[in-house]
Amino acid sequence: MPHLSSEIPVIDLSLLSNRNTKELLKLDIACKDWGFFQILNHCVQKELLKMKDASSEFYNLPIEEKNKNAMTSNEIQGYGKGYLVSEEQTLDRSDVLMLHIYSTRYRKLQFWPKIPEGFKKRDNRGIQVLVTEI
């Protein structure tokens, strides 16, 4: 294993988009030697970051509050428990909040959290921006 410095590699995504050879080499080394790196100038829009924050706030709510958005037995939208299963055993359990965003005809806002406030507004705008860019 190569000797690692005490500093996590930092990659500037704006330089990668310009095919900067030095930055591409730094990325190559970071992936091979470290397996991860810090990103600068990622250009992730603020609306998308606000969505992430709202999601984190939702998962930090008490279970009683999260259950107000619970999936019903015939729905795949809402809050619930997810399980990773193998043939031998159940591997992991996780909380999930499944929401259809795009196309809007499948979106069921009754499963969207009312708390944190502004969740619906932020997610609608953020997703619209993200989908447009992709």
Same-domain status, 22 and 79: no
Is 18 buried (19+), middle (13-18) or exposed (0-12) by CB count in 10 A?
exposed
Regarding whether 30 and 74 lie in a shared domain, the answer is no
- Same domain as 95, residue 57: yes
Q: Say which residue, 27 or 102, is predicted with more confidence.
A: 27
> Could you tell me if 120 and 103 lie in one domain?
yes
Dump pLDDT digits (tens) for 63-95.
Answer: 888 888 788 788 777 787 766 666 666 666 677
Same domain, 60 and 117: yes
Same domain, 25 and 88: no
Cβ 100 vs Cβ 108: under 8 Å: yes
Q: How much is the average pLDDT of 40-61?
A: 78
Helix (H) or strand (E) holding 11: strand 10-12
Tell me: do 51 and 19 sit in the same domain: no
Question: Do residue 99 and residue 115 come from a single domain?
Answer: yes
- 5 falls within a domain: no
If you write DSSP's letter for every residue of 64-130 in order, what string do you get?
A: HHHGGGBPPTT-S-EEEEEEEE-SS-EEEEEEEEE---SSGGG--GGGS-S-STTHHHHHHHHHHHH
- How many domains are there within the chain? 2
Q: Which tens digits make up the pLDDT trace of 7-28?
A: 889 998 888 878 889 999 999 9
Inter-CA distances, 8 with 24, 30, 38, Å: 16, 8, 7
Banded model confidence at residue 29, pLDDT cuts 50, 70, 90: very high
Model-level pTM? 0.52
Lowest mean pLDDT among 2-16, 25-39, 52-66, 97-111: 97-111
Domain that holds residue 35: 10-40
105 lies in the same domain as 80: yes
Are both 111 and 65 inside the same structural domain?
yes
